[in-house]
Amino acid sequence: MKQDTSTKKTAVLTASYSGLGFELSRLLLADDYRLICVDRNTTKSTNARQVLLSEYPSVEIVSVTADMASSASITQAAQRILEQVANIDVLFHVAGAATAKPEFSSAGNEMHFQVNTLGPIALTHALRPALSSGDSNAVVVVVGSSAMKMARTLNVETLINPPKFKKMSGPYAQSKLAITTALAALSDDYKAEGILLRVVDPGPSRTAMSKSDAMPWIVRRIRRWFPLPIVGARKIFSAGVSEKFGSETGIYIERDKIVKLPAPATNQTTQKLLMRLIAECEQSSAEKAP
């Protein structure tokens, strides 16, 4: 049965138990949001939920399990969310992939592209009915990365199966540039339904990802001087709820300001090629679904 959304705003976020996601959850609960947490690891999600409830005893937190590398899992999670709420005010895509070596999803797509690009688009599309049902604009925020600037061009033809692998500046940077390009391409269509699409760079952060083997050695070496996750979480929070960004859509936010999109993200030919590839991936996943 769908809950009454007349008194509380609803926020959906992925990877709620991650460093950035957990601090973002705290900020949203402090601002009196109802939370729907979409997480891959049920145990970690449950533990995080218990901590949050101990800090905010009267809040509403709904946990949904989903693997952002699986289109079928995303679809099932979205169905469960739509059964819970009729309206979503803000959707935060915090979950992301960073691998130390080449990895591929069950669909055969390179893992960074699958999780960092296809995943957010699939979940956003599936939740579109609830995002478009409110009286005011809903906001979709994807956590981006300045690493995308390492990619001078978006190599659409190799996103699924890159010929080379390089930590951070390879498939990871390409996937972050791809999701930025995709949201720029989709922004007008979604805005027509009252949905604003944004990408935010939270900056470097002292998270588990920044100390993992997926990061170049220099990043792991200097991460001790990175800000704590709460700093990046505030930037993500602002991108989704701050009135300073008004009805802006298809934008890239860095240091809490709108900055110019990378050239590939605004190239219409690149946008068309990318959206065609995404459509093909979605069609392939639909055909393989049980």
Higher per-residue confidence, 209 vs 110? 110
Question: Using CA atoms in the order 248, 115, 87, 27, what is the torsion angle rounded to 10 degrees?
Answer: -70
Mean pLDDT, the chain, as a whole number?
94
Give percent of the chain with pLDDT exceeding 70: 97
Decide if pLDDT at 3 tops 80.
no
Decide if pLDDT at 174 tops 90.
yes
Residues 6 or more apart from 88 whose CB is under 8 A from it? 10, 11, 12, 36, 81, 127, 130, 131, 134, 138
CB 198 within 8 A of CB 139: yes
Q: In terms of Cα–Cα distance, which of 147, 152, 162 is closest to 201?
A: 147
Note the pLDDT of residue 5: 45
Decide if pLDDT at 4 tops 60.
no
CB 68 within 8 A of CB 115: yes
CATH of 9-288, one of 3.30.2130.10, 3.40.50.720, 3.40.50.150, 3.40.50.9100: 3.40.50.720
Residues 6 or more apart from 111 whose CB is under 8 A from it? 69, 97, 99, 103, 104, 105, 171
Decide if pLDDT at 290 tops 80.
no
Residues 6 or more apart from 50 whose CB is under 8 A from it? none
Decide if pLDDT at 271 tops 70.
yes
Q: pLDDT category, 38, cuts 50, 70, 90? A: very high
Mean pLDDT of 93-104: 96
Q: In terms of Cα–Cα distance, which of 22, 141, 135, 52 is closest to 90?
A: 141
